[in-house]
Every structure is written in structure tokens, then in C-alpha cells.
Structure 1
């Protein structure tokens, strides 16, 4: 069974949109798919795929791990797609105990399916990181805003540190060193991972070798969502460079997705966008990403620098192509009368308002960064 955890550093970047629509795309391709809502405390994935409010879900199981797990799995109206609801009533993943987590992992891994998609909560709680690490090829969804890209990087950084704590066992010099770095508050520059790994390779070669082997099988994938312009796709390169330079981590680019107001219409209609408007630019991007995943080898985690380069180059080309298709689509709507000039004006006004907000946000972050640098803080 192929496991696809989908996470994000912050909320509001379309993570659940990606999870739900990829699940439908896989199901339409003939795969037996299970979609699980693990965004505990904020579970609303059932709305995206058009299911009724669930009476029981993962929260039910966590409250009583002896519950028959099959009872909370729902057959959807979409062929080949089953759904496991979360629970919006329980206070979130922070309250899930270790034994509950292990019991949930066992049930999920024993499912009879071709693909298991895990829609994880936003953020870097240990529960989220552990489920993301169930696969070496988890997906991180980001948007091109400064906060979204920064949080995507922070999520991956925390994932690498969580991987260290998983590999470095109690009593090893590697774990002792890691703990000393965590307790040391003299500066975050000491958490420069490549430098840390060099030190660990000297003091604990065995632990270092185990971690290196694990890292060689860990290659997260990136989806850049909600882009407005082809230039927005370039932001992905910043995440890549930061991961390689500061985390010693290679990431692959799965592709880009343009912001589409039609998604809001699809959501209000309780239908995934790939069913509501399969020919839309957004839907075609999702189908394209689904094809890339299906064509990749789930068991071969090796990836070359050339493969990574090609994935980023391909995403850049897709951004240009989709933008042209999007413009053609708008022209068709204008000529057909479905989209009036008034609608177009309102859309432009909305985008201008969002740009102003982003500029303010960017200026605020720049001022914080300048202040931090002036105080001798190194990012």
C-alpha cells in the first residue's frame, strides 16, 4: 500500500483541497483509495468530498481503541474511494497519547487499499511529524506568500529533527549531543544541521551511518498552490536551496496549482473541483500531479540531483503553460457571457486587496528580520 501523508507548515494553503482531489484522481485511475482526515480538532474534509457529517470517526477510535475500526470507514459515492472522518470535537493532535497513536498507526497500515492518503493538520506537533514520516515521500503544500514558504521550511526542519530523535537511540553519544544542542540557548546557528552531522559522524559513527541511511530514503515532495503568476513558481527554489544548505535535505517538486475561484463554488456545491469542473486549469494540475505520483516508484526512494533539477524545471514550464490556459479560459468566459466585465473587475479588486495585505505582511517580516540581524541573530 502506498502511503501519502499531506502536510503544511501553516493553515490556509489548500492542503485539504490537495488531499481530497488527489484521492478522487487516484480513484478515477482505478486505484483503491482510502482518504483519512487526521486534522484532529479541525476536521472538515468530509465537506470537500461531499459526505454527510459523520457520526463517528478517528476521534471515536482514539477514545476507545477497542472500537471496530472498520465501523468508522465510510464508502463514498465516488467509486474506489473510502473515507475515514476525523473528529472536530476532540481538542486536537496535541492530546493524543503515544499508545493511542500506535494503535491508530497499526489500524491504518493494515487497511486493504492501494493508496492511503493522510490529510494531516497544519503545524509541527509531534503527532503530525510522526504520521508524515510514515512515508519517505510525503507531500508538503505551500503557497508563494512569505509566511507560507517560511512555515514550509520550518515544517521540514522540524521533520528532520524528529527523524534524528527517532534514529538516535537512548544512551548514544549522538542523542546526548543533540540534547545538548537543544538545551543550549546561545544561538540557533548551532542548529545548522550539516555542521551538526559532521560532529556526530566524529563522536558516534554508528548512529551517523544509521541516520544517513534513513535520510537517503527521505525525499519529501513539494506542491506550490495558490499561485497567481508564473513568477510565483520561482519561490519553490528558495525552499529547495534552504533545505539543501541548512537541512542537508533534498526535496522534489511535484508541481504548481493556480488559485481558482471556481474551487469556492465547487466547495459550496459539496463536490471536489476535479468532479465539479474537470477541465479547469486547477483540475488539470491535480490530474497531472496524480499521474506523476502514480508513475513514480513507491519502493525506490533514490533520487538524483538531475531528477530534482528536472522536477523544478518542469514545474516552471507548467506555470507558464497553465497561466496561458487560464487566460484563454477567462477570455472564453467573457465571450460566452458567463463571466461579465463586472465580475472581472471585482476579481482584480480582490487581488489588489490581497496584494496590499501581502506587502504589509512582507514589510512586517522584513522589519523583524532586520531587528533580529542587528541583535546578532543568524537565521
Structure 2
């Protein structure tokens, strides 16, 4: 079984859209797929695959961990695809206890399928990080906005810290050192992990080695969603540089997906976009990403013959190609009368307003980052 957790640092970046349509693409490729809605507390994945409102879901199992889990695994109208609904109306279902996380993970990993797609909740709750770490090659979805890219980076940083804490036994020198930093008022989130690990290597070589071995198996991947311009693909490089410099972590780029208003039409019709219009720019991007995943090596191993750098260069090239295809599509709509010049002008005006808002947001966040970086420089651990 290949496990594919799909996460995001914040909501509204299209994570569930990608999870649903990737699962369908895998099923169309002949793989036995299970799609699980683990966005507990905000579960709506069934809408994206055209499934009726579920009567029972994961919350039903969580309320009685000894119950039959197979009851909440349902067939869909899509060949090769089964679905595990979440629960949006059960209080506290988004904040699972460790025993619930463990029991749910065991049931999911025991399912008979080729690919298990996990649509995780937004944010960095411990249970979300634990589900993400079920695989060494989970996917983080982001958009080009400053807040989304910052939250994507922070999600990866929290995941690395979660991996670190789970690698250190309580009472060990490394664990005690981290707890001392935390109790002394140091914000672990403002520490550079390479510097932190230098100190831990001196204090507790055994824990240091264990963590480094686990990090060798951790190769998360990135999808840049809802881009409007080929230049937006370059934003992924900023996330990559931050991960390398501050987390000592390499990430792979799976590709870009352009914003497509057809998705709204497909959602209203309760039809997944790759079934509604499989030749759309969005659908073709989904298929392209699915192919990359299916062609990749076994779990925990980076692709041979395709370096990390090449994956980013390839994504930027795909952004250019898709943009040209998108412009040709708009021209076709204008020529056939399906899109009037007034519609086009209104769309440009709307996008200009969004761009102006993003610029203001960018300036605000830059000022905050400057303050945070200046304060963090005085909080680095000293050897």
C-alpha cells in the first residue's frame, strides 16, 4: 500500500480538491484506491466526489474504537474508488486523543488497497502531523499568496519538530535540552534546526543519530495550486530555500495547477472536475501530477534520474506551457462568443483588486517577518 497524506498550512488552498481528483486519477489508472476524509470538524470531501451526504463516518468509529471499521468504508460510483467519510458535526472530532489517532491509523493501514489518500485538516494540530508522518512522501498544497506559502513552510517546520520530539525518548539528554529551552522562554519555532542539531549532537549523540536517520526517510512534496501567472511558480523556490536553510530539509516539487472557474461549475453539479471536463487545464495538471506519483520509486525513496532541482525546473516549464494553453482557450471562447469582451474586462478588474489586496498583505507580512527575524537572532542556542 502507498500512503498519500495531503495537507496544507491553512484552509482555502484547494487541498481537498486535489485529494479527491488525484484519488480518481489513480482509480482510473486501475489502482484500488481508498480516499479518507480526515479533515475532521470540517468534512465536506463527499461533495467533491459527488457522494451523497454520509449517514455515518469516522466520528462513528471514534465514538467506539471497538466497533467495526468496515462500516464506514463505502463504495462509490467511481470504479476502483472507495471512500471513508469524515464527520463535521461531532464535537471535538478535530482534536483527537493519542489513542484515537493510533486506533484510526491502524484501521486505515489495514485496508485492502493499492493507494490510500488521506485528506488531512488544515493547520498543525498534533494529530494532523502524526497522520502526515505515516508516509515519508506526504504532499503539502499551497498557493502563491504570502500567507499560504508562509503557512506551508510553518507546517513543514512543525512536522520536523514533531519528528524530532518523537525521536527523542523522554528523559534523554536531547529531550531534556528541548524542554529546558521551552521552559526558559525560548520559542522552538524561532530556532534554526541545523543550529539546534549541532547542540544536540554534542549533548546526546545517540538521539541525534536516530533523528538524522528518520530525516533521511522524510521527503515531503509540494503542489502549487491556484496560480494565475507563470511567475507564481517561482514562489515554490522560496519555500524550498527556507526548508534547506532553516530546516535542513529538501522538498520535491510535483507541479503547478492554474486557477480554473470550471471547478465552481463542476462542484455545483456535484461532479469531480476530471470527470466533468477531463481536458481542462486543471484536469490535465491533476493527471500530470498523478502520473509523476505513479511513476515514482517505492515509498521513502526519491525519484532516480530526476533530481530535486530538476523537479522545480520542470514545474516552472509546465507553468509556462499551461499558461499558453489557458490563453488559447480564452481566445477560443472570445471567438465563438461564449465569452464577451465585457466578461473579460470584468475578470481583469476583479483580478486587479485581488492583486492590490495581496500587495498590501505582502507589505504587512514582510514587516512582521523582519521583526521576527531580528528577535530570533538573539534567541539562538549557544554552544
TM-score (norm 1): 0.96
Q: What secondary structure, in the 3-state scheme, does the structure 2 residue paired with 1:95 have? A: coil
Separation in structure 2 between the aligned mates of residue 349 and residue 377 of structure 1, nearest angstrom: 42
SS in 2 for 1:144: coil
User: Does the 8 A contact of 1:190 with 1:196 survive in 2?
Assistant: no
Deviation at 1:93, TM superposition (A): 5.0
Residues of 2 paired with 1:74 and 1:241: CA distance? 42
- Once residues 197 and 333 of structure 2 are traced to their aligned partners in structure 1, the CA distance between those partners, rounded to angstroms, is 55
Partner of 1:54: 54
- Tell me if structure 2 keeps the 8 A contact 1:93–1:128: no
3-state SS of the aligned residue for 1:122?
Answer: coil
User: Shift of the alpha carbon at 1:150?
Assistant: 0.3
Matches of 2:305 and 2:297, distance apart in 1: 17
Contact residue 10 and residue 122 of structure 2 kept, 8 A: yes
Partner of 2:20: 20
The residue number in structure 2 matching 1:247 is: 247
Give the secondary structure class of the aligned counterpart of 1:222. Answer: strand
Q: CA distance change for structure 1 residues 155 and 304 in 2, over 3 Å: closer, same or farther?
A: farther
Deviations 1:282-320 (A, max 9, x none): 110000000000000123524689610010010010010
How many Å separate the matches in 2 of 1:334 and 1:365? 39
Deviates more, 1:176-185 or 1:150-159: 176-185
Post-superposition shift, 1:184? Answer: 3.0
2:203 and 2:133 map into 1 onto residues whose CA distance is: 26
- Indicate if the aligned counterparts of 1:74 and 1:83 stay in contact, CA closer than 8 A: yes
Which shows bigger deviation, 225-234 or 363-372? 363-372
**TM-score normalised per structure 2:** 0.95
Does 2:351 correspond to 1:351?
yes
Counterpart in 2 of 1:264?
A: 264
Specify whether residues 22 and 374 from structure 1 end up closer, same or farther in structure 2 by C-alpha distance, changes over 3 A only.
closer
Does the 8 A contact of 1:42 with 1:92 survive in 2? Answer: no
C-alpha separation between the residues in 1 aligned to 2:334 and 2:91?
A: 46
Q: Aligned equivalents of 2:3 and 2:14: distance in 1?
A: 20
Q: SS state of the match for residue 78, structure 1?
A: coil
Unpaired runs of 5+ residues, structure 2, are none
Report the 3-state secondary structure (helix = DSSP H, G, I; strand = E; otherwise coil) of the residue aligned with 2:157. Answer: helix
Q: In the alignment, what sits opposite 2:292?
A: 292
Residue 138 of structure 2 is matched in structure 1 by: 138
**1:24/1:78 contact within 8 Å kept:** yes
User: 1:372, CA displacement in angstroms?
Assistant: 4.4
Deviations 1:173-209 (A, max 9, x none): 1111121222232566862100111111122111111
- Is contact 1:76-1:82 (8 Å) kept? yes
The CA distance in 2 between the partners of 1:37 and 1:189, in whole Å, is: 29
Q: Is the 8 A contact 1:188 1:378 kept in 2?
A: no
Q: Residue 119 of structure 1 aligns to a residue in which SS?
A: strand
Counterpart contact for 1:187–1:377, Cα < 8 Å = no
Query: How many residues are paired up?
Result: 379
1:313 aligns with 2:307: no
Show the counterpart of 1:175: 175
Aligned partners of 1:145, 1:26: CA distance in 2, in Å?
29
Report the alpha carbon displacement of residue 74 of structure 1 after superposing the two structures with TM.
1.4
Measured in 1, the distance between the counterparts of 2:45 and 2:326 equals 27
Q: CA RMSD in A?
A: 1.8
Change (3 A) 1:93 1:246: farther
What is aligned with 1:65? 65
* In 2, Cα distance between equivalents of 1:373 and 1:72: 47
| 1:369–1:95 CA distance, 2 compared to 1 (3 A) | closer
The CA deviation at 1:346 is 2.1
SS at match of 1:77: coil
TM-aligned CA deviation for residue 340 of structure 1:
2.0
Counterpart residue number, 1:208 = 208
1:349 CA displacement: 1.9
For 2:121, what is the secondary structure of its paired residue? Answer: strand
Find the aligned partners of 1:347 and 1:204 in 2 and give their Cα distance.
58
